[in-house]
């Protein structure tokens, strides 16, 4: 069976622009990390004792199957397409995932796995869904899924994650360090809202969207580039033990990253 790669991402910047129906609106630069990815494939179900109705994921996950983004993506796709061939496929096959992207790390592993699963089903079953249609289905799973559907190397992401605009720049390679700290994204956003809420205006958002990632990383500090860094530091006190000058913070954490070439300078 064909193996599909689900790439990680980093947020070169992540700024809050406002609130909408309980969600925070953002403007962010998502950049794909080509050197870090999970590998997904369809495999025939292993145990003869599997109930045919069981959705099977084979892999090392820190959550129950019904909490897994791939499982959620399956049900979102089923609702959208009412595809019998999809049900038949998942009756006889499981999804094998070789995990390399750490969880709770701000690297988009769960969202990338969900997006990759949707694209695998679309290809294997000839569902004929466009990328826009897949992205719409992915939004039911999580705000970041849309970015991974489009397969851009670099993109400006706004709204609550549903607006993805390709950004043309050189392909960058990153060094990533992920401390063993399980960060809760909802908790970090809540602290941001309670203690740090200071959305940027449209003018500043547009300025950031035009600037190359390399320039942002060389001119903005971790807390200037990412509005969630200070709230994460406040809630997870030991995070500061891992922070080093010149590194940036991805998403709501816990990963730090920098350009590969910067480590040789």
Per-residue pLDDT of 234-249, as tens digits, reads 999 999 999 999 999 9
Q: How far, in Å, CA of 167 to CA of 152, rounded? A: 8
Do residues 124 and 195 both lie within one domain?
Answer: no
Q: How far, in Å, CA of 106 to CA of 236, rounded? A: 14
More confident residue, 221 or 143: 221
- Catalytic residue status for 201: no
pLDDT at 232 over 60: yes
Q: What is the model's pLDDT at position 53?
A: 60
Q: Which of 166, 198, 232 is where one domain is finished?
A: 166
- Cα–Cα distances (Å) from 174 to 56, 58, 122, 227, 258, in that order, read 33, 29, 30, 21, 6
pLDDT at 20 over 90: no
For the chain, report the end-to-end CA distance as a whole number of angstroms: 42
Number of folded domains in the chain?
A: 2
Q: What is the model's pLDDT at position 264?
A: 45
Q: How far, in Å, CA of 166 to CA of 257, rounded? A: 21
**Range(s) of the domain holding residue 81:** 4-166
Over residues 78-129, the pLDDT tens digits come to 999 999 999 999 999 999 999 999 988 999 999 999 999 999 999 999 999 9
Cβ atoms of residues 253 and 183 within 8 Å: yes
Do residues 152 and 31 both lie within one domain?
Answer: yes
pLDDT band at 263 (very low <50, low <70, confident <90, very high): very low
Q: Which residue reads 């080509």 in tokens?
A: 34
Over residues 28-76, the pLDDT tens digits come to 999 999 999 999 999 998 765 555 567 899 988 777 777 899 999 999 9
Q: How far is CA 4 from the centre of its chain?
A: 16
163: left (phi over 0), alpha (psi -120 to 50) or beta: beta
Angle between helices 69-81 and 131-139 (to 10 degrees): 120
Q: What is the model's pLDDT at position 48?
A: 58
Count of positions (residues) in the chain: 265
Do residues 94 and 38 both lie within one domain?
Answer: yes
pLDDT at 211 over 60: yes
Q: What is the model's pLDDT at position 22?
A: 80
Q: What is the model's pLDDT at position 63?
A: 74
Phi, psi of 94 (to 5 degrees): -110, 175
Residue 117: CB atoms within 10 Å: 28
Interacting residues of 211 by C-beta distance below 8 A, sequence separation 6+? none
Do residues 119 and 103 both lie within one domain?
Answer: yes
- Catalytic residue status for 144: yes
Angle between helices 69-81 and 84-92 (to 10 degrees): 150
pLDDT at 184 over 80: yes
Q: What is the model's pLDDT at position 261?
A: 72
Candidates 9, 15, 56, 119; catalytic one: 9
Q: Which residue reads 């590969």 in tokens?
A: 260
Do residues 231 and 184 both lie within one domain?
Answer: yes
Over residues 108-120, the pLDDT tens digits come to 999 999 999 999 9
Do residues 185 and 148 both lie within one domain?
Answer: no
Candidates 38, 72, 119, 144; catalytic one: 144
Interacting residues of 228 by C-beta distance below 8 A, sequence separation 6+? 14, 188, 189, 192, 249, 251, 252, 253
**pTM for the whole thing?**
0.92
Provide, for the chain, the percentages of residues in helix, strand and coil under a 3-state DSSP scheme, each rounded to the nearest 5: 40, 25, 35
Do residues 190 and 157 both lie within one domain?
Answer: no
Q: Which of 140, 166, 192 is where one domain is finished?
A: 166
Share of the chain above pLDDT 70, in %: 96
Do residues 98 and 193 both lie within one domain?
Answer: no
Q: How far, in Å, CA of 161 to CA of 140, rounded? A: 12
Do residues 155 and 179 both lie within one domain?
Answer: no
More confident residue, 20 or 7: 7
Residue 43: CB atoms within 10 Å: 12
């Amino acid at each position: 069976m064909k193996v599909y790669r689900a790439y990680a991402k980093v947020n070169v910047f992540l700024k809050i622009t406002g609130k909408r129906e309980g969600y925070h609106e953002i403007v962010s630069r998502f950049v794909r990390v080509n050197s870090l990815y999970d590998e997904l494939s369809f495999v025939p179900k292993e145990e003869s004792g599997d109930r045919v109705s069981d959705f099977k994921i084979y892999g090392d996950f820190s959550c129950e199957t019904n909490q897994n983004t791939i499982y959620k993506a399956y049900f979102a796709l089923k609702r959208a397409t009412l595809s019998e061939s999809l049900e038949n496929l998942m009756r006889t096959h499981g999804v094998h995932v070789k995990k390399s992207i750490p969880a709770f790390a701000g690297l988009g592993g769960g969202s990338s796995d969900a997006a990759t699963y949707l694209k695998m089903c679309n290809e294997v079953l000839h569902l004929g869904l466009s990328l826009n249609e897949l992205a719409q289905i992915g939004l039911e799973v999580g705000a970041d899924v849309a970015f991974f559907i489009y397969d851009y190397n670099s993109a400006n992401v706004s709204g609550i994650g549903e607006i993805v605009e390709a950004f043309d720049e050189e392909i960058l390679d990153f060094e990533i360090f992920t401390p063993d700290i399980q960060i809760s994204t909802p908790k970090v956003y809540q602290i941001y809202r309670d203690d740090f809420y200071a959305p940027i205006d449209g003018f500043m958002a547009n300025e950031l969207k035009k600037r190359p990632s390399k320039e942002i990383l060389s001119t903005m500090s971790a807390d200037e580039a990412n509005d969630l860094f200070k709230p994460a530091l406040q809630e997870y006190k030991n995070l500061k033990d891992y922070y080093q000058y010149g590194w940036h913070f991805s998403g709501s954490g816990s990963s730090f990253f920098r350009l590969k070439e910067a480590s040789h300078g």
